Every structure is written in C-alpha cells, then in structure tokens.
Amino acid sequence: MDAARHSAGSTLQKLTIDKFTDRDVVCLKLDGWIDEDFDGKKLAHTIRARNLILHLSGVRRISSFGIREWVDFIAAASKSVEDIILVECSPKIVDQLNMVGNFIGRGRVFSFYVPYRCDYCDREDEILMQVDRDWAAITSMTPPERPCPNCGDTQYFDEDAITYFSYIASQPRFALEPAVTALLSSKLNGAQADIAQRLRVDKIIEDRFTYLKLSGDLDDGFPHIKLAEGLEGAIIIDLTDLGRIEPAGAAQWRTFIQLITPAAEIIVFLGVPPIFLEKLTSRDDIGPLGQVETLALPYACTKCATTAPHIVSVGGHYDLLKFATPPEMKCVECKSSCHCSAPDSVLSYLPGLPKPNLPQPVRKFIKSIKGRKPIQQRSAVTAATGELPVAAMRRRSWVMVVAAAIFAAVLTAGGLLGYRYLHNPGGRTASSTGVGKLVEASAPARPAWIASSAIFSGHCNSGAKLGMNCVGVSSHAVSEADAQEEAQAAALEAMVHALGPRIDHPDWSRYMAPMFTDIRQAKMSLLSEQNDRQSIHYDRAFGTVREGRKAVANTLRKGGGRVISTTPTAQYWERYESPYGGHRYLVFVEYQVTGDIIDKLIETYSRSARAAATKAMTIFPGIGWRYPDIDRGAVITSIGDGILKSMGLTEGYIVLSIQDRTVKDAPSFARILKQELKQLRRDGGDLHLEVKTGDNLPTEFHHPISRVKSAVQPSSTQHNKSTVRGPVNTWDRVGGNSSDGKASNTPK
C-alpha cells in the first residue's frame, strides 16, 4: 500500500478543476462536489491529448444530476482521447463505479483509496491501492489488516470487500506509461506523485556530439560508471523528463560528472526541471564545464486554470533570471499570459546559474535534436564509414543500460541476501515463516503495559499530566542485543514523532518539520506495503526504517540526553527456538515520560539564538530520517544583511561547525560565532563554516576578515579576494560568486 490519509468530515464545497498538461498528457484534478453545475460536455471540448488522467482524491460527493453530467463528460472526452485513466479515486467515486453502468466508459482505474478503521481509538484512514502493485489483494478481495498509526492496534477494512472491489477487480491489470508517470511525479503533490520510475537513457552520437536523454528517477540504480564509459567531446544531457532525485542517485550523479569531465569539451544541460535546479546545480553537481542552457519550469494560467511546463532559455532571459524572476509566458491552451508557479525555494537558485556561452556548432546540433523523431528507421551499418546509425546506437545504449541495471540488481540482491543470511541464518526471515516455540521469557506473562504486539513497531499514549508512555517492539532478531536496540530505537522514535506536534513555534513548522516529515512517511509506508516478508524489497524497506529509527534515537540521546533518561523504564523479552536453527529474540521496552520532561524537551527543541544578524534553531531529532549522519547542529531560520549572508548562507542551511568547533545546538552556534568573529577582527584571518545544504555533501564556506586597525573604528569585514580551498572557479550556489567575489565555498 502506497499512502494513507486521515479521514475528516466534509462540508459543501464548490467544485474546482485544475488542469496540468505536458505534451500528449492532460491531467484534470477535481476537488469538491460534482453536481448539476458541472458542465461536462463543455469541459470535454477543451481537452486535446492522447492520454487523459482524472485525479479524483478530492471528490467527496457526487449528486444524481452530477452523475448525468459526468457520464456525458466521459462520453464526449472519449471521442478526442485514446485513453482515460483514473488515479487516487476517493471512496465516493469507487461507490459510483460499482453502482452506475458506463460511469467511466472505456476508462480504467489505476489507483483508489480504501477505508480503514480502528475501533480502539476511533480513527479512520484511507489507504491508497494500485492495480499494478496490489493486484493479488484486489482480485482476492481480501485487503490486509494494518496497524493503526495512532495507537498501534489493528485497523480493519471498513466496507464489504466483495462489493467494494467488484468493479476494479473486473478490469485488466496494467501499469502507467512513462509519460503519464512523469507528469504525475513532477506536477502533482499527492500520494500518486511517489510512483517510482525506472530510469531510462536514450543516447545519440554524431561526430563530436553525444546526446543523452534521462527519463525517470535518479536513484541508486543510476548506471553512472557504465554510462560514463567513452563519453567525450560535446556532451548534451536532456533532463526534461527526470523524476525524483534520491540521495544515493545524487551522489552517483556527482561521480558521473567527475568521470566524464576530463574527456569532455563542454557539458550542456537541457530542460532542467525544478527538482534538479534545487538539488544538483552547484558547481560540483554540473562540473566546471557544465552550462545550463534551458529550464523546464511550471507555469500556471489564471484564466483557464492550466498548469504546464515551459522551456525557458537561460541565456535569452539571463537579465531576469539573475534576479530570481522567470519571464512571463503564453498559456499553451488559451494563449493568455501565465506566470511561473515554481516555489520561491526553487526560484532562489536562478541567480546562481552562469550565463551560457555555447559554440555555434553545439547550438546547431541541439536545434537538430529538437526536431528529431524518437525512433529513426535506418539501415544497419553504414558501409562507407563503418559507423552505427542513430537507431542502432540507441539500441546499443539500451543494451548497455539494461546490462548495467541487471548487474546493479545482482550486486544489490547479493548484498541484501548476505545481510538476510547474517541476520537470520538459514536464509529466511523468521517473521515471515514463524519463529518456532517460545522457550523462555523474562516474566511468566507479558506485562500490562504491552497493549499491542505488532512486530517492529513503536507507539506512544498520553500519560498522566500531559506526559507520555512510549512502547517499542523489536523484530524477531538473532541476538537479544539486536532486539533490544531495535525496540529502544522504535520507542524513542515514536516519542520524537509524538513530540513534534506539541512544538508550537513558527520557525519549527516552517524550516524544521518539512525536512523530515514526508521522508518519514514515505519510508514507513514503503515498509507497510510489503506483503512478502521473504522478498528483497521487504528487507530493503525494513533496513531503511531500522536505520532511520536508530538515527533519530541517537540524535535524541545526544540533544535531549540532559533532559530525558534514555534508559527504558521497563523491559520484557521472549526467546524462541527457531525451526531454521538457533534462537530468535523479541524485546518490548517502555519509556514513561512526565509532563515536566516533555515541557523541557519542547523548550530544548524550540530554542533559538542570534549572532551576526542570523538566527538559528537547534536541530530536531526527527531530522535523522533525512540526514542519518547528522546528530548535532543548528538550522538557520532567519538571516539579515551581514557576513553570513554575504558568504552565501541562507534559511534552511544547517551549520555543523565554526572554525572546526562543533556546533551542538542553537546557543553554541551563537556563542562560537561571536567568539570567533571577535578574535578574527582582532587578529585577522579566515572565517570558515561547515554547512549542510539540502541533500548535498557538507560544504565549507570561507570568508577572509581583516584585522581592525583601531579599537575606535567600528568593526567591519574587508571584502577582499577570497581564499578558496579547491578549484579556482569554485562558486556558491546561492549568490553565484566566483573565486574573485566576496566569499567562496567548497564541498567537504
């Protein structure tokens, strides 16, 4: 199962329709009630595409007259499109599918929400299912039980399964086309935006030019070494259809750039999407030869409510982009003026882009590529030259990419199978096959504080006087020590998760929470959706959650250790005799935390301090889900005109050290910065900070400070030529300063 949303009461809501388009795909996102005011035929006549995607998670009611208009809409739209696909159907839409004939004509349902309920805490959730992934549960009409996110007790499917699944189980199983997946992943923010896309590479070689088109997700499956082999001359990389960028994929991308730079004459990037602009456009990400020629930015039209990507020339609009201002464009539908809808967090990277300076032959080749068909039918090998034609080269590049993907999968499988064998000698997970007979326990019966026996889980309940009782449960581990570590991490992570909503601080909500909440949810959901616990996918998801919990617990111990005892209040264990040899251990731990301690923890993680016109907040332990290697530091929440801003730092950056002195929290950030600036203004020298910027590796920022000649003179910094550690052309992402500017930074 992919994603969950908590149910809430609905009120009368006027229908709103947002339109997203990308080449041959149009997506309509409907929110509100469908009634007699819905003019289906008129809407259908505005659609010109091959694929029509209907995003229906926001439809909470459809009236009788609304059904009539809807059926007319489907009939009219079917005449102008080849395929109609429904995604994220709400339960109300599923009800109509089962009751109304021809409700979606020849359309197909790809994903839909199913209702779940927990009687213990009276909670209702809606869980997203997909026909490609959850087909066995759909056709068997047996949705699995799941632990309640609130109390850990079992949630059950809150409908008649045979009735609810009858229509969807009758349609064929299918997967989305890449073009559809690309639009959903890059343009929408719903649960469907998390669809994984296997990376595909299209390659064309002509003379001294090599064209690469990357489509899909940049993750740990990126065949960076194989793809880099033999690349030389002018390399053009088209990123228009790039999907998600995962940390492992970003790291492999940087290695790829390092590998191809020595033999390259120039590296040109086309159609850079917002996610790439935000994460991978520093000098180390695109290399010293890299030039961003065009951007693919989303534009929204207020007149016809259409959102579509537009290709923006960096060179042609450089005078606007350097002020973080995209140019106005014409709507692809109604030709009215439309404005860029990318968030400010993305637009802030525009000034850091250098102005491209492409040789004329490179520009001519790029122009020829734009008008070229995806597949060209030509003869096999040109006899005169012995060179492979474009189509053959594409086939060869596909073979290379597929082989690299298979090789990576074999290595990954081998590593995971090795881990599974060490974790469970015998090669099978105990939790999926039975753990055998209970042979020993630390007490005659399980204590009363164990309210749920859900394996590998953590949950908290409210205690006396606004305190908490948090319980963690391990998996069936090979050793008692491993099980104890898992249980403690699960309980402490649950405590951190429950603590977050109690922090009522605008800076925490704006800068801290977004760093980890979505990542935590994605990793937990990925584990819960794995039905086969013997699979490599389960082991991988299990390991991700296990390491995330450990990182959060470790950060809590270091940051909140002065406030909270990280030794469990109570513990209980069981030992099983495994049918595959050896023993398995199951451990439960409890932490009882009083309201006074909770208040102190909230104070600790709401704490901020100010120095050099900059305010920072102590990092929250939940950040371990995103940055498992960071357990201390301070997040910049406000930065005014001053030395740090001139160095290129901005809100959201995490300061790890100043002058090689570790920044533990916000107070130490302010204290160390004040002390070091005072000394540098007295003696002169170089101020340097180690900073975590997004998903990049920690970066060192440098700034020279001249000695103040007289104590009477006001303290100031001299903006002389910077001292740079690394290449001469090092420049910072935010300010775009080169080595002859005010400040510089280099990755550590």
pLDDT (tens digit, 9 = 90+) per residue, 157-209? 888 888 899 899 888 888 888 778 777 766 554 444 445 567 788 888 888 89
Q: How many CA atoms lie within 13 A of 392 on its CB side?
A: 10
Examine the domain organization and report whether 456 and 327 are in the same domain: no
Q: Whose CA is closest to 586, among 731, 439, 368?
A: 439
DSSP three-state, residue 684: coil
pLDDT of residue 710: 56
Q: Which amino acid, residue 338? A: C
Per the DSSP assignment, residues forming a β-bridge with 593 are 468
From 172, 191, 210, the end of a domain falls on: 191
Residue 462: pLDDT band by 50, 70, 90 thresholds? Answer: confident
The enclosing domain of 101 has a CATH number of: 3.30.750.24
- Judged by phi (left if over 0) then psi (alpha if -120 to 50, else beta), residue 736 lies in left
Mean pLDDT of the chain: 80
From 154, 170, 191, the end of a domain falls on: 191
Dihedral sign for Cα atoms in the order 448, 449, 451, 453:
negative
Question: What six digits make up the tokens of 662?
Answer: 């570790």
DSSP three-state, residue 574: strand
The C-alpha atoms of residue 83 and residue 445 are separated, in whole angstroms, by: 59
Residue 137: pLDDT band by 50, 70, 90 thresholds? Answer: confident
Higher pLDDT residue, 335 or 73? 73
Cβ count near 106 (within 10 Å):
10
Q: Whose CA is closest to 232, among 258, 202, 204, 209?
A: 209
The C-alpha atoms of residue 573 and residue 465 are separated, in whole angstroms, by: 29
Q: 356 in a domain, yes or no?
A: yes
Question: What six digits make up the tokens of 173?
Answer: 């199983």
Question: For residue 563, what is the enclosing H or E element?
Answer: none
- Contact in structure between 51 and 179 (CB atoms under 8 Å): yes
Residue found under tokens 């992934």 = 133
pLDDT of residue 183: 77
Does residue 735 surpass a pLDDT of 80? no
Higher pLDDT residue, 605 or 196? 605
Examine the domain organization and report whether 179 and 199 are in the same domain: no
Question: What six digits make up the tokens of 3?
Answer: 């994603």
Q: 688 in a domain, yes or no?
A: yes
Q: Which of 227-241, 479-493, 726-740 has the lowest mean pLDDT?
A: 726-740
**What percentage of the chain has pLDDT greater than the value 70?**
82
Does residue 419 surpass a pLDDT of 60? no
Does residue 748 surpass a pLDDT of 60? no
Q: What is the pLDDT of residues 208-223, one digit of tens each?
A: 899 998 888 888 778 8
Examine the domain organization and report whether 134 and 180 are in the same domain: yes
Torsion of CA 672, 673, 679, 684, to 10 degrees: 140
Q: What is the pLDDT of residues 542-594, one digit of tens each?
A: 988 999 999 999 999 888 766 777 789 999 999 998 776 678 999 999 999 99
Q: Whose CA is closest to 590, among 734, 487, 701, 463?
A: 487
Examine the domain organization and report whether 320 and 358 are in the same domain: yes
Work out whether strand 16-22 and strand 306-313 pair parallel, antiparallel, or are unpaired.
Answer: parallel
The C-alpha atoms of residue 543 and residue 474 are separated, in whole angstroms, by: 13
DSSP three-state, residue 739: coil
Cβ count near 441 (within 10 Å):
14
Examine the domain organization and report whether 168 and 307 are in the same domain: no
Residue found under tokens 């559809």 = 180
Q: What is the pLDDT of residues 13-58, one digit of tens each?
A: 788 888 888 878 999 999 999 988 898 889 998 888 889 999 999 9
From 600, 625, 656, the end of a domain falls on: 600
The C-alpha atoms of residue 211 and residue 369 are separated, in whole angstroms, by: 8
**Nearest 5 degrees, angle CA 114-CA 116-CA 121?**
160
Alpha helices in 653-735 (DSSP H): 666-683
Name the residue range of residue 310's domain: 192-376
pLDDT of residue 605: 92
Q: What is the pLDDT of residues 344-378, one digit of tens each?
A: 888 888 988 989 999 999 999 998 887 564 443 33
Question: What six digits make up the tokens of 648?
Answer: 């290129």
Kindly write down the DSSP assignment for every residue of 613-656, as one continuous string: TEEEEEPPGGGGGT-TT--S-EEEEEE-SSHHHHHT--TT-EEE
- Contact in structure between 662 and 632 (CB atoms under 8 Å): yes
- DSSP code at position 265: E
Question: What six digits make up the tokens of 253?
Answer: 């991308």
- DSSP code at position 723: P
First-last CA distance in the chain: 39
The C-alpha atoms of residue 432 and residue 434 are separated, in whole angstroms, by: 6
- Contact in structure between 500 and 620 (CB atoms under 8 Å): yes
Residue 4: pLDDT band by 50, 70, 90 thresholds? Answer: low
- Contact in structure between 566 and 492 (CB atoms under 8 Å): yes
- Contact in structure between 225 and 211 (CB atoms under 8 Å): no
Examine the domain organization and report whether 168 and 201 are in the same domain: no
Examine the domain organization and report whether 279 and 319 are in the same domain: yes
Examine the domain organization and report whether 657 and 734 are in the same domain: yes
Q: Which of 8-12, 20-24, 380-384, 711-715 has the lowest mean pLDDT?
A: 380-384
Q: 419 in a domain, yes or no?
A: no
Does residue 140 surpass a pLDDT of 60? yes
The C-alpha atoms of residue 111 and residue 126 are separated, in whole angstroms, by: 12
Examine the domain organization and report whether 584 and 654 are in the same domain: no
Does residue 741 surpass a pLDDT of 70? no
Mean pLDDT of 525-549: 83
Question: For residue 167, what is the enclosing H or E element?
Answer: helix 161-170
**Total structural domains within the chain:** 4
Q: Which amino acid, residue 410? A: V
Does residue 394 surpass a pLDDT of 70? no
Examine the domain organization and report whether 478 and 578 are in the same domain: yes
Q: 542 in a domain, yes or no?
A: yes
Question: What six digits make up the tokens of 566?
Answer: 């990280």
pLDDT of residue 405: 43
Q: 579 in a domain, yes or no?
A: yes
Q: What is the pLDDT of residues 669-704, one digit of tens each?
A: 999 999 999 999 999 999 999 999 877 778 889 889
Q: 120 in a domain, yes or no?
A: yes
The C-alpha atoms of residue 469 and residue 60 are separated, in whole angstroms, by: 37
Does residue 12 surpass a pLDDT of 60? no
Cβ count near 218 (within 10 Å):
26
pLDDT of residue 6: 58
Length, in residues, of the chain: 748
Which residues 6+ apart lie within 8 Å of 73 measured at CB? 38, 40, 41, 43, 44
Examine the domain organization and report whether 649 and 703 are in the same domain: yes
Question: What six digits make up the tokens of 79?
Answer: 């005449």
Three-class secondary structure assignment of 199-260: CEEEEEEECCEEEEEEEEEECCCCCHHHHHCCCCEEEEEEEEEEEEECHHHHHHHHHHHHHH
Q: 425 in a domain, yes or no?
A: no
Torsion of CA 423, 427, 430, 433, to 10 degrees: 170
pLDDT of residue 637: 93
* Backbone torsions φ then ψ of 338, nearest 5 degrees: -135, 160
The C-alpha atoms of residue 222 and residue 201 are separated, in whole angstroms, by: 10
The enclosing domain of 699 has a CATH number of: 2.30.42.10
Mean pLDDT comparison of 52-61, 152-161, 413-422, 430-439, highest-scoring range: 52-61
Examine the domain organization and report whether 435 and 534 are in the same domain: yes
The C-alpha atoms of residue 513 and residue 516 are separated, in whole angstroms, by: 6
Q: 535 in a domain, yes or no?
A: yes
Distance set, CA 42 to CA 56, 65, 103, 493 (Å): 19, 16, 18, 52
Q: Which of 156-160, 170-174, 445-449, 709-713 has the lowest mean pLDDT?
A: 709-713
Q: What is the pLDDT of residues 628-648, one digit of tens each?
A: 889 899 999 999 988 998 888
Which residues 6+ apart lie within 8 Å of 325 measured at CB? 347, 350
The C-alpha atoms of residue 135 and residue 139 are separated, in whole angstroms, by: 6
Question: What six digits make up the tokens of 106?
Answer: 């020849």
Mean pLDDT of 60-89: 91
Q: Is 95 exposed, middle or buried (0-12, 13-18, 19+ CB in 10 A)?
A: middle
- Contact in structure between 662 and 612 (CB atoms under 8 Å): no
Task: Considering only CA atoms, give the Rg of the chain.
Answer: 28
DSSP three-state, residue 686: strand
- Contact in structure between 250 and 281 (CB atoms under 8 Å): no
The C-alpha atoms of residue 651 and residue 693 are separated, in whole angstroms, by: 10
